[in-house]
Structure 1
């Protein structure tokens, strides 16, 4: 039988939790920790400094993305249904939750796996950062997964703890109980009342609870599951070093800065949704505008900046990473809503002014879809090539002006090496092209070598990963066939 308890922070003592559950039964025997399910409430902590934000420090590749948060502390990091969250607010809430995690896993060694089932928005960012602050590894789950799929991920990754938003608790509770996993349920207080400023508070920006030595000796950070397998998904482990390499090179390729505001509707258990589209903008001080689920009407509203029955103006967005299926659904809705020429002209002119880039990954964008989207919006969809094992390693060019036609060729991100090969009957391979240098058009299987790829994946003797994808190399670029 599940025992549900409540933990509340003393209102006068920020981030200190009162334990309300018994640690032993009437005979003094300690209860099994796995039987506890904790519903957690939070009181917003209040502390900051009056000083101006320090300059952005040089990126240390072994440290988590939140190491940059102090430099952007007064900027908005996340927008969702609960409001606008400053970087400092996200950091402090994450720190509070990390202390709760330490309380739930008091005697556990670092690098415990912690599964996350939270919707897009502040709750997921807070939880993922909290996992890292407590020295553990985050394992994002997908809200669309079946109980059987969640059970597989929890068992395969050997999760010690599950953290779920209250809205998702009914979907994960039975699975966690069946496997005997500890469970934290985050109620609404964890994302309630985002602070608009910390200027009136007296304490300095909090310290990272982990040391430099810890991150150097415990690099594990994130487990994602690759689904390109016929039987079961395969776990892929990334360290902070690999994540930072990916974020650094994506931000350079997409020209991301603190002025970027990205509309996020993607699943968070994928490299494209989590690393490329969520963590990377946060690494440069940008803003994530989250929709808890993909909704065509809401997406069009945010892209155009038109709120329907909204008490406040919608957050401005200027970048939109999405998927081919989503673009198809948006076009269907476009044809239903924008029926006359005046409305269509308005959509096209508005998007050309507001949006810097629209991206796609996972599957190839069909020629017809690409043409229809450009006709409707004036934007060419910028392709990205993302693998769970390597992250985003190839991308189309971000145009200087949105009226330009973006070439459909993919270019390797900085420090990414490519090799196109043909498998021989003897079992060896014949290298047809290296780093897109061939003067002639060649076709073959794509192999990749990138600084952000997982250290645990199988490579050839030179460190290249086989993708299994057929590509064509021409004019210095790559086209996936």
Structure 2
């Protein structure tokens, strides 16, 4: 039994069904041991026996080939083969509850000061009670999945607003501060929000929209959140007659909806994030508490998060990258999140190279951003260090980043190879590239330690399965598998080596549904339950590569399938090109022509013959653009992504008329 207690886990419903049919005694034990457990039990018994282990023992006997070290659990694949996977040490609970384990630790540092995890819980509980009063629900202390919008600058008020919404059992709908009123109106109407949480500074902007839609507004203040208090509201009973006798212990507080069995709690919707709109009108992606927990656990394990980490956040928080990867993962891990109101290159350079962070005795050691951020940092470096031949500053920057920062991650869009190489020269860091999207969180990643294949997105994270498939109308499932893999290995179908196809994903992090769009939800899954990412991928050299969007970034020209991203990477090697976007234009002869939109360096010019002459030495002739458009800047959304359908519509309207 001592050996068995080295394993941590919780049985899935599938395993429970299997044991009920094959081993009634084992079924009763698992049912009593696990499904009667509340969150209290999970925290008090952090070493419990994995149901997968019991299943293995009950049906197969102990297999000597399986490692029995702690933090590993036995799992079964579809062929009932036993293999190992590293398990995260984070309990499977709603993310805000991780703060209870770290209440004395620093949690957030913003321009207004510092808050510990206990402070976050206290102020979140205060706001939650105020929200419940608005709904006349203080007796039950919970709502029924009402949608509550959140509009706040990236600071502690944002986290308190989201945590308070979750404490009330509502669904948080984050809005972006820079979106126009028409976008806010669409998101609020589509998600059917019944309340808007907004900071003072944004109240005037959102008020006309709120009045038009008839949605009440609740103002949250960062200044109030920073005020001192005597008793932590989170750890007190609601009607404590003698506060001095109230124990500030987790066990003493009143039971809430989130103290129910984990199986019920984790299925509840927590968040609606809207897609970038690169494939049409933004859709509301519904993520459950279980989805968010799985996303965080995958990154916590794979990227080595700990309570000693300090991460800098300069990303917007209405998408998964900034919200989940940076803020929620750091807070679930007991780390410190330094929140800046917006990206500013000089400020970021100062923070990344500072020996300690203000209000903290540690330096920043984690940074995650989109390619645009890294490129702007390099532009600032070039103008202020390289142009002045400041060797001393360049040496200081490289030494500081190499010694103090343990990991730098890039994602949300493809990083040009030349830019990645340049960043490594400046910082000493080989950027870790990964792949994810709103519907699935992070699915693939290059390794924290070990070889990172240039241009690839690595391999699947723990508990994530992927497939690369190609259409086949004669197949019962409608497709044939090119390659299939998980965090342990990938198997390529014989004869399909090097082939491209659509990337499919399956796992506990995959979203629940598109809000109020059942038909759209159904279309995005295969018959056997795989999520269709819409991205074209290939597997080679032991890693996965994203070729581009299936319908947008794969250009079909004269029988060739051309990766728009690959063409862009080549063109960005040109010394005069700052940015570019490659699109396919309809052509009666070739199917599609390769067109490029380019932003040039100041003071330079370019004609199509010049570009083609330069490209002939670097690219196959069929990949070289035949159409050139030069503009001042390429439109991007808040996450740095380019909507190529809009580019074609705005810059090549004549192509759509043909």
TM-score bucket (shorter structure):
0.7 to 0.9
2:94 is aligned, of 64, 88, 98, to 64
TM-score by length of 2: 0.60
Q: Which has the higher contact order (CA 8 A, sep 6+)?
A: 1
Please state if 1:480 is matched with 2:539: no
Name the structure 2 match of 1:466: 532
Please state if 1:180 is matched with 2:246: no
Q: What pairs up with 1:7-406 in 2 under 5 angstroms?
A: 59-61=90-92, 63-106=93-136, 109-193=143-227, 203-205=247-249, 207=253, 209-213=256-260, 216=264, 219-305=268-354, 316-339=363-386, 340-399=390-449
Listed one character per residue, the Cα deviations across residues 234-281 of structure 1 (whole Å, up to 9, x for unaligned) are 011111111111111111111111111110111111111111111111
Point out 4+ residue stretches in structure 1 off by more than 6 angstroms. 194-198, 310-314
Give ranges in structure 1 of 5+ residues lacking alignment. 1-53
CA contact (8 A) 2:312 2:367 kept: yes
1:434 is aligned, of 470, 474, 484, to 484
The 1:196/1:347 distance shift into structure 2, 3 A limit, reads farther
The CA distance in 2 between the partners of 1:399 and 1:83, in whole Å, is 34
Give ranges in structure 2 of 5+ residues lacking alignment. 1-42, 47-88, 233-243, 514-520, 548-658
Please state if 1:451 is matched with 2:517: no
Residue 491 of structure 2: SS of its match in structure 1?
coil
Residue 260 of structure 2: SS of its match in structure 1?
helix
Displacement, 1:185?
A: 1.2
Query: Which protein is bigger by CA-based radius of gyration?
Result: 2
The CA distance in 2 between the partners of 1:173 and 1:407, in whole Å, is 47
The CA distance in 1 between the partners of 2:423 and 2:45, in whole Å, is 38
Displacement, 1:431?
A: 1.1
CA RMSD of aligned residues (A): 2.6
Displacement, 1:80?
A: 0.4
The 1:312/1:109 distance shift into structure 2, 3 A limit, reads closer
CA contact (8 A) 1:123 1:190 kept: no
Displacement, 1:461?
A: 2.6
Listed one character per residue, the Cα deviations across residues 15-62 of structure 1 (whole Å, up to 9, x for unaligned) are xxxxxxxxxxxxxxxxxxxxxxxxxxxxxxxxxxxxxxx98957543x
- Identify the structure with the greater helix proportion: 2
Name the structure 2 match of 1:415: 463
CA contact (8 A) 1:437 1:476 kept: no
Residue 247 of structure 1: SS of its match in structure 2?
helix
Displacement, 1:104?
A: 1.3
The 1:119/1:196 distance shift into structure 2, 3 A limit, reads farther
The 1:392/1:480 distance shift into structure 2, 3 A limit, reads same
